[in-house]
Structures are given as C-alpha cells and as structure tokens.
Chains A and B, each alone.
Chain A
Amino acid sequence: MNIDVPAGGEAAKPPLLRVSGVTKRYGAAVALHPIDLEVRQGSFTAILGPSGCGKSTLLRLIAGFAEPSTGKVEIGGRDVTRLGPENRPTNMVFQGYGLFPHMSVAENVGFGLSIARRPRPEIDQRVAEALRLVRLEDFASRRISALSGGQQQRVALARALIMRPLILLLDEPLAALDLKLRQAMQTELRRIHRETGGTFIFVTHDQSEAFSLADNLIVMNEGRIEQAGVPQDVYMRPNTLFVSQFVGDTNILPGIRRGDHVELALGARFSSPGRQGQTTFVLRPEALRLDAATPAGSAPEGTALRCTVEEMLLLGGEARVTLSIGNGETLVARLSDPRDGEAFRPGMTVTVRWADKALSEVGVAA
C-alpha cells in the first residue's frame, strides 16, 4: 500500500491531470456539478456511472471538445481550459471509433503524424510500431470497411497511441464488442498500458470492466463524483448508498446510534462512535460467514445472529443464500465455494456472522 505517502520530491510533483471546480451546463440543464479530480501519471483510471450521469461530458471537457461553464482543467501543470482538442496533449478513442472510411488502416494510424508534418520515414516507422503494439501488422493496407469490430477498435487505439499522448482518453471503448472479444480486449488494454507506461482514463458503465482494468476508480452519479479511490477500497468502503449499490450487491442495514453504540434494525449492536440518531450501514454479501453449529452471541470482533435459510441459489461459481432474521429483516450472503452452499437447505437454522469492520456507514438513506 503506497497511497499518498509524501516522499521527498514526489510530494511536490503536481498530478498529471487536475480538474478543479469544473461545471457544465447546457442551457438550463446541468450536466456536471462542480467536479474536482486529480489523476497521477501512469495510472489507469476508470470513470464509472449510470447512463446520462455526465461521464462523456467530463471526458470531452478533458479532451477539449467542450468548454466548461466554470472551472479549470490543467494537464502537466499547464492550464488547458481554453485550448482546442488539437492543442492538447490528449488523444481520444471514440465510442463509435470515428475511423476515416476513405483511408487505409496505415493512413488512419498515420493521420496525426502527417498533419504534424513529420518526415515520411518517421511516419512509416511509427505506424509500423503502433500496428505491432495492437497486433495488426498484417492489416496495414486494408480498408476500414474490411475490418471486424475488434480490429477497428485496435486501429482507433493505434491511431491515438501513435501521438504519444500524455493522457489517453477512452469513451466506452469496448461497449460495442461481444463478451468474449471484450474480455480479450481488456487483456490487450492492460498489456498496452503496461508496455507504453502511459496514463489512461476510460469511461464505462460496466462495473466489472472498471474493476478488471482500473487502478483508480471514479464513481459518478447525476453529474457529481460520488467517490474516488482504489477500486478495492471503493468496493469495500463505499461512502454512499449509491456507490454501494452501483459497484455490486449489497445489504442495506438501517440503524440508530445512541452514545458510542449503534443498534441495527435487524437486532445487532456494536461499538461505533459518530453522529447521533438515524443512520444506515451497508454490508457486502461476501463478508457474511455461515455455519450450522455455533450458537448466537456477540463475538468480540463482530456480530453473530441466529437466522433461517429462506432460499439458496447455486450460480455456477458461487452460492447465494437468502437469510431471514426473526423480525422480518433479510440478509443475502454470497459463498464463493458453491459446495459450502450445498450444506444449507431452506428452513435450516444457521448462524450468520460478520466482522464489524466489514460494515460501511453511508449516512441516512434518502
């Protein structure tokens, strides 16, 4: 864990991308509420959120296709807010790819360099390099219309990477591909990120894609950043109910804090100082442990409750168990080994236990 450890010169170095107080309005409609965001050099950042939450808008503001209504965008310490896309050290892979249909693969990839008037031999050499990187060496003279979706995706990637952007922006790059191809391209993207050592920011509404690629996760909702951080932290310690529900399954546990203790509606009591009164905690299904034997009682490190198995689903690689706690509350547990699940039949009385540190407080649910 080497997060935010100020170490000598490293601490003074500004982040590669800094977005401060950026908003975007379209007429009366607000697409982005004030956004603050920092991305460090070399990271692979995912912007995750439901459709219409402003992900593309944010990406387009970074790329320079739109100007923010207020606020500032800095790249490498330089204010680029008023610069057009052609003057920013960023390149974009568009959702529909935006390949030039009247040019060959090599001409597409070399377009940026020929606009920059690089000498012919350099263009040829770098095009060959870029095509090798995306494994399309044999397709240089093909027409775009004679490529599959996955191959077009790679051309778009090569065309952006050849410019050696400080930041590569990808807008739902894999959304148009089928599942198998999408997984293959995820592997490719990870490899390319590793080999180029670049900084990638990509937009997606697929949480599994965000988790499999990113080392930095930004969750957006309704034009706001709900939470940003290391994906595992966001998953295990969601700040809001929205994040908790959007990045996976979750148990929502309302409760009341009195003094230094919280009493959950389902009947557990544990120590947790904080704001008095109504509050809500969330608990991941895989944080729950089940066993048939041990009696209930408060274990020192957590909670144990007696409950009844209501339903048990075997889902290939895992088992989902729905538990009912005496007073009408239910919990969902996920067992990573389906063989464990086979031991629990509906109607059985079992003990469910969890560590108190697995609970995340998300405030009062709206």
Chain B
Amino acid sequence: MRIGSFAWPLVMGLLSAFLLGPLVLVAVFSFSSNALISFPMGELTLKWYRDLLANADFHAALTNSLAIALPVALISTVTGTLAAYAFAEWRTRLGLPLLALLGLPVLLPPLVIAISLVVLYVRWLGLPLGRPAVIGGHVLVTQPLVAAVIASRMASFDFTVLEAARDLGASRWQTFWKVTLPQMRAAIVGAALIAFALSLDEFIIAVFTIGGGNTISTFVWGKIKTTLDPSINAIATILLLMTIGLTLIALRLTRYRG
C-alpha cells in the first residue's frame, strides 16, 4: 500500500522529467556561453539572442512565419466561426456529420496532408509553392479547431436572444453585431490565438509547401542539419514562450462564460 502510494508519483515525476527535461535544458542553455549542451554550464550570456537578431536569414524566416500565421489566424477564425455558427443555427441532422467532415484534416497524419497539398497545388492547380500555399495548408488544420472551440461555446448559447433581438426591431445583421458577436468575442479571440500559435510552430506542412525560403520551424530544421549552433536554443525558447503565452491567454478567454 505504502509503496504503491509512493510509486505512482515517482513514475509520474520521472515521466514528466523525461518529457519536460529537454525543454528545460534548451531554455537554460540558450543563456549559456557553452557552444554545446554540456556541463558544466558556462557563463550566463545573451550572445545567442544577439546573434539571432543580427542574422538576416532568421529575420526572413520570422517575417515569413508572421506573414503566414497572421492570415491563417484571420482566415480560419472567420471560416471556422461561420461554419460553427451555421451548423448551430441550422440544428439539422446534417450539422454534426458536416462538422465531423470539416474536422477530418485534424485526424489525418500531417505528412499525408502535406503530400496531398503539394500534389494538389503543383500537379492539379499549377500553383507555385510559397507563402499562400502554406497559408492554405495551415487553414485546413486550424479551421476545424476554431470551429470546435466556437461550437463548444455555442452549445451554451441561448438562441432565444436572437429572436428577442429581431422582435425588438433589429435586422439580422444588427442582431449579429450587437447580440451574437459580443457574447462570442472572447471565444473567437481565443480561437484566433490558438490558430496563430499552431501555424507559428507547424513544421511538416510548411516544409513541404513553402518552396524556397524558410519559416522559423524550417529555419531551425536547416540549422540542426548543418551545425549544432546554440542559437537554436534561443529560437526554441522564443517559440516556446510565444506558444505558451498565446495558449494561456486563449485558454483564459475561451473558458469565459458570458
């Protein structure tokens, strides 16, 4: 009994250490003067961050990433929200299967999606690879997540308010702006942040569809293949902070209940 009650926390602790350890190491060594991840730790330094800021390739990758993540967040939020809204308003038997169909890309292996996208763009549509191609691919995976977040908020949405607004003289459009949107705003912003964070560190679709150039994640990949430059640690730490930060804000917002 007593052994059991100690064993479980121990196992969980080891497991967590194994999973989170590398993350901690990466973050810690991004501030270390050592050229490799090795003990003893050298002096504390911001050198790797300074190197990054001076690196033109990194700037290009960061610009690409932002130029992709922003439109992805915008587009998937609009389409995902409209989809969830439409399904909720129709409340038909078709609604659920349709939402599931829309969610299919999340279940497929990203590699399959990436390859299919390349085939679609290059072979069938004759479109060039590049930023728009990555945006299309990312929207495919983020839109269902946005729809799921919005749909779960809709589940607790009182649809009588829409009829009440119409009854008091509001047009459909006014009802949407003054009644629906204010109640959904937190969930929508939260969903947009999640979409942004997902796009920012997505790798497989990006590497297949970006063509020339880099996003942050493909930039890191390229660097790992050639050198084991500690500035990778700095990039990883920046990405980690951004993702965690965005997700925390998003979680707070989406848990909001009118």
Contact = CB atoms under 8 A, between A and B. Distances in A.
Given A100-B179, A102-B182, A94 B170 contact: no
A111 B165 contact: yes
Contacts of B160: 94-98
A287 B174 CA distance: 57
A91 B170 contact: no
Nearest to B184: A102
B86 interface: no
A112 B166 CA distance: 9
Contacts of A99: 161, 164
B97 interface: no
Contact of B164 (A94, A102, A116, A145): A94
Interface residues of B, number: 18
Interface in B153-192: 158, 160-161, 163-171, 174, 178-179, 182-183
B167 A63 contact: yes
A99 B164 CA distance: 8
Interface of B is mostly: helix
Contacts of B22: none
A297 interface: no
Contacts of A145: 258
Contact of B158 (A65, A91, A98, A111): A98
B164 A115 contact: no
A22 B171 CA distance: 26
Interface of A is mostly: mixed
A159 B168 contact: yes
Most chain A CB atoms below 10 A, which of B164, B169, B170: B164
B158 A92 contact: no
Contacts of A116: 169
Contact of A112 (B169, B179, B182, B258): B169
A159 B163 CA distance: 13
B166 A86 contact: yes
Contacts of B179: 100
Contacts of B158: 96, 98, 101
A65 B174 contact: no
A86 B183 contact: no
Interface string A137-174: 00000000100000000000001100100000000000
A248 interface: no
A115 B168 CA distance: 8
B168 A112 contact: yes
A264 to B, nearest CB: 50
A338 interface: no
Interface in A53-94: 63, 65, 84-86, 90-92, 94
A60 to B, nearest CB: 9
Interface in B228-258: 258
A97 B159 CA distance: 11
A101 B258 contact: yes
Nearest to B160: A98
A95 B158 CA distance: 12
A170 to B, nearest CB: 12
Given A115-B174, A116-B169, A98 B164 contact: yes
Contact of A92 (B161, B164, B171, B174): B164
Interface in A205-245: none
A86 B171 CA distance: 7
Contacts of B165: 100, 111
A158 to B, nearest CB: 12
Contact of B163 (A85, A112, A115, A160): A85
Interface of A: 63, 65, 84-86, 90-92, 94-102, 111-112, 115-116, 145, 159-160, 163
Interface of B: 158, 160-161, 163-171, 174, 178-179, 182-183, 258
21 contacts: A85-B166, A86-B166, A86-B171, A96-B158, A97-B160, A98-B158, A98-B160, A98-B164, A99-B161, A99-B164, A100-B165, A101-B183, A102-B182, A102-B258, A111-B168, A111-B178, A112-B169, A115-B169, A115-B174, A145-B258, A160-B167
